[in-house]
Amino acid sequence: QLNVPLRDVSLDARFDEELGADSLDLSALIITVERVYELRIGVERGRELRCVREVAAFIVANSPLVQAG
């Protein structure tokens, strides 16, 4: 969705700085993550997730799909 080559994405890549995401991109990303991983992030929490590692950690901690194995 961000049109960034995979080689430019690392766990510590910040969405706004390294990946060039604006607020609409971040909203779309949050909605996609919620749908794919069957969880609810919400607007406030979504604003706090600033890098790939933070989103991945949130998914692992909160998704019923990941917890189920």
pTM of the entire structure? Answer: 0.88
Label residue 68 by pLDDT band (50, 70, 90).
low
Q: Where are the alpha helices (DSSP H) in the chain?
A: 23-37, 43-48, 52-62, 64-67
Query: Is residue 52 within 8 Å of 12, Cβ to Cβ?
Result: yes
Two tokens, residue 48: 């706090």
Output the CA torsion 65→61→58→37 (10° steps).
10
pLDDT tens-digit map of 22-54: 999 999 999 999 999 999 999 899 999 999 999
- Tell me how far apart the alpha carbons of residues 31 and 37 are, in angstroms, rounded to a whole number: 10
pLDDT score at 8 = 87
- Tell me how far apart the alpha carbons of residues 59 and 20 are, in angstroms, rounded to a whole number: 22
